[in-house]
Amino acid sequence: MPASDLLLELGAEEIPASFVEPALADLARVIVERAKEARLTHGEVRTFGTPRRLAVLVRDVAARSEDVTKEVTGPSVKAAFDAAGKPTRAAEKFAESVGLSVDRLLRVKTPKGEYLAAKLEEKGRPAPELLPAVLHAAVHGINFKKSMRWGDVELSFARPLHWIVALFGEEVIPVVFGDVRSGRTTYGHRFLAPQPIELRRPADYVEALRAAHVIVDPVERRKLVHERVRAGAEKAGGRLLEDEALLDQVTYLVELPNPVVGSFDERHLDLPPEVLIQEMKSHQRYFSVVDEHGKLLPRFVAVSNTPVKDERVSLRGYERVLRARLSDGRFFFDEDRKHSLETRVPKLERVVFQQKLGTYAEKIERFRLLADFIARRSGKADILPILERAATLAKADLVTGMVGEFPELQGVMGREYAKASGEKPEVALAIFEHYLPRNAQDSLPTQDPGALIGIADRLDTIVGIFGIGKGPSAAADPFGLRRATLAIIHIVLHRGYRFSLVAAIDRALELLEPKLADQKRKANEPPVRDQVLEFFRGRLKVMWAEEHRPDVVEAVLSAGFDDLVAAHLRLKALSAIVGQADFAPLAVAFKRVVNIVEKQGRDIGAGAPDPGRFQDDAEKALFEAYTQAKGKVDALVKADDYAGALREITALKPAVDRFFDRVMVMAEDRALRENRVRLLMQIGGLFGRIADFSKIQAEV
């Protein structure tokens, strides 16, 4: 039989927009996993989703599962036969379980000895027999952030489920969820095509729904939303303020996007533009419109799920709702400015940051001192007055009405209220910029005070959360520590700050000590400092591996990353030479040095070689080459010229090669052997300042 397409669609009441994509990923993942377990081969897997439906289309699912031959292991030969060679009860029971006689069993050798075994052929089964279990697992395997029950149904789903389509070719696959049974009936747009649609086969799905006024492909629908919203903004006399997150959200709020262009009172333009944008975005899902210079215009583009019959009536509704929201925003803005930002700081003593780590007032004091420490270590002591003032006021806007209504505006409102309170412009800017970057697409701080406060604030959070044993798992990162760590790395590299990461972590731990003193540690748990450093290492590895060879990244990180800027410069320098034709033999030679040092160096201990003990000219030549190179490498490293340092180090290769050709390192004379190992330790230490070459995958 030829392969057929498989379609699963779950029709429900309006599912929250943020639930759709994760649910589709769950559906597709479970279907693929269960199909593999069932040995059903298939082609492309596509997902489709709207507020009313979740669907997966699997192309070319095999008509039957694949045949397979399995080897089943039974008892050991010793246990299977007695001293006379007769089968024991163990052998007979195993033979019975596999449907064979004892004399047809095989003998296989394993690391534990010789065992009885049987080869069993398992014939494939028709796909319609296997697919009910596959689809049942998929339907019941969706993990929603929140779910609900309805009627007498004991199962829960994001929203009440109304229909299930499950088709394999033209055959309906039986699937049941609560009181809903699968069939071939789907439904189009709720208002424009509410009548049932009978699907003959999966291939008809997309076009059948298109005819029923539903753009079921989210990629196509997103593109359509974007095109129509941009056209609406141009119609309004401006251009669209691009917002990818809002575009994603609106894509899963509608099945057939229809733009509506509206306006609001120009007097509201004296509010901070972020307030207006957030009011339109968060509550109404409206897109903002700006002029050619990026200045906000008193216009918006909303997206309706149905074509508008009377645009004037529809517009009145959209504008009336926004008018009320903007009036609320103006009220909060005016009320908040009646009190200076400084007078709000004491209120943070009643706002808990984290139960075990204390209030925001306590957190501010910690990261103010930590920012001071990092600034001094980075040579930025001249900005301390601005930094300390900004740090003191950095979180004061958390207790304002506007931020209480729109948490996304923290920092933005702190900047505005600082200006209104008469604070210096540098202080206001630092309050805003200490939150940057807020996401991967966001801009970085432009000035030192905000950048350093942002580093300190995040580092206090990271160290504190690890300190109370709440570090992120593979599946969850509730405190956003990965994002915070990446932000620190990006800021440090962008601003070029040269400070010791270890020293900064130690200072953070010192400031957190009163909160962590009574924290119970798990047995064999690494120190908090080590956990935080390893976490930074993991983020650096992922981040840098996007642009550099993973083994080169590992080599650089293994040589240390306490100075993040230096580590990045070393990475770029090493990456530049690693692809050259003559690098592979160079890496092999240096690896040989590292391997000997690792095996012998621990027993010998530190110390310089004694030139008086050198016997072979190759030893003397290598020592002389090392001595000359070391001074140059030290100067180049100090100047951050790691490319130049690498050139000096690679110039040692001929002397290293000659040394290994002529000299027996592992001489019988212990003093002679140790002296030669110490020489190699010096060489290894020299290029170990750049990277651990033993981590680089290089073959001659």
- Tokens representing 480? 């956003």
Q: Give the mean pLDDT of the chain.
A: 91
Q: Mind spelling out the 3-state secondary structure of 29-63?
A: HHHHHHHHHCCCCCCCEEEEEECCEEEEEEEEECC
Does pLDDT of 586 surpass 90?
Answer: no
Does pLDDT of 599 surpass 80?
Answer: no
Q: Which residues contact 402 (CB under 8 A, 6 or more apart)?
A: 275, 329, 332, 333, 336, 409, 413
- Pairing state between β 352-354 and 358-359: antiparallel
Residues 433, 489: Cα–Cα separation, whole Å: 16
pTM of the model: 0.80
Q: What is the pLDDT of residue 458?
A: 98
Does pLDDT of 171 surpass 70?
Answer: yes
Does pLDDT of 604 surpass 60?
Answer: yes
Does pLDDT of 486 surpass 90?
Answer: yes
Does pLDDT of 581 surpass 70?
Answer: no
Does pLDDT of 32 surpass 60?
Answer: yes
Average pLDDT over residues 597-618: 74
| Cβ atoms within 10 Å of 424's Cβ, excluding its own | 14
Burial 346-367 (b: 16+ CB within 10 A, else e): eebeeeebbebbbebbbbbebb
- Tokens representing 596? 């000997």
Does pLDDT of 700 surpass 50?
Answer: no
Q: What is the pLDDT of residue 600?
A: 63
CA distances from 657 to 412, 500, 585 (A): 61, 36, 10
Cis peptide bond prior to 437, omega within 30° of 0 = yes
Residue 232 near residue 282 (C-beta atoms within 8 A): no
Average pLDDT over residues 438-459: 95
For the domain spanning 4-64+126-211, the CATH number is 3.30.70
Q: pLDDT by residue (tens digit) across 514-539? A: 999 888 877 788 999 999 999 999 99
Tell me the pLDDT band of 661, cut-offs 50, 70 and 90.
Answer: confident
Q: Which of 27-36, 280-289, 398-407, 671-680 has the lowest mean pLDDT?
A: 671-680
Gyration radius from the chain CA atoms: 34
Q: What is the pLDDT of residue 639?
A: 93
Q: Which of 240-254, 335-349, 684-698 has the lowest mean pLDDT?
A: 684-698
Q: Which of 226-230, 402-406, 500-504, 595-599 has the lowest mean pLDDT?
A: 595-599
Q: What is the pLDDT of residue 697?
A: 78
Torsional sign, CA 389, 392, 398, 399? negative
Does pLDDT of 699 surpass 60?
Answer: no
Residue 465 near residue 477 (C-beta atoms within 8 A): no
Average pLDDT over residues 423-437: 96
Residues 134, 659: Cα–Cα separation, whole Å: 65
Average pLDDT over residues 130-150: 93
The DSSP output letter for 181 is E
Q: What value, to the nearest 5°, has the Cα angle with vertex 210 and ends 209 and 216?
A: 70
To the question of domain 565-695 being in CATH 1.10.10, the answer is no
Residues 245, 467: Cα–Cα separation, whole Å: 33
Average pLDDT over residues 312-328: 87
Of 210 and 597, the one with more pLDDT? 210
* Amino acid (one-letter) located at 306: T
Average pLDDT over residues 487-512: 97
- Tokens representing 49? 């989703």
| Cβ atoms within 10 Å of 524's Cβ, excluding its own | 5
Q: What is the DSSP string of 185-225?
A: EEE--TTT--SEEE-SSGGGHHHHHHHTT----HHHHHHHH
CB-side exposure of 656: number of CA atoms within 13 Å?
Answer: 26
